[in-house]
Amino acid sequence: METSIQIEVRPTEIDVMGHVNNAKYLEYMEWSREDWYNKANLPFDTFTEMNIGTVTVHIAINYRKEARLGEKLTISTKPLRKGRTSYVLEHVITNEQGERVADAEVVSCTIDLTARKSVPIPETLARQFEG
């Protein structure tokens, strides 16, 4: 399942170069990831009830085009692949012209919240990666 959110670039997200600060793109992706979990019926509470947490362990991001104040951006999220304890979500940020502003692959791992060690991906999450 692919989901997307839309945002408008705010003044607090602009750096001295007059465009969106690189760290803000990670926030945009985090907001979209949270939306993806919710639309997949996997809100934070569901994981907590299973005593499972999701931890971001690696992000590979490409900055393709600058975004500026007031621009409307779409951030899309979709599952790419999964392993035994980790999985990859892809984020793509586009502007109103449909141009790719940034993209990233985010690797997350599922952990036992008590032991703080990795555990196999729960079936409810694993199903999101099926055809």
- Annotated catalytic sites, by residue? 15
Cα(118)–Cα(127) distance, rounded to whole angstroms? 19
Phi, psi of 105 (to 5 degrees): -110, 125
DSSP3 helix / strand / coil % (the chain, rounded to 5): 25, 40, 30
Which amino acid does the sequence have at 33?
Answer: R
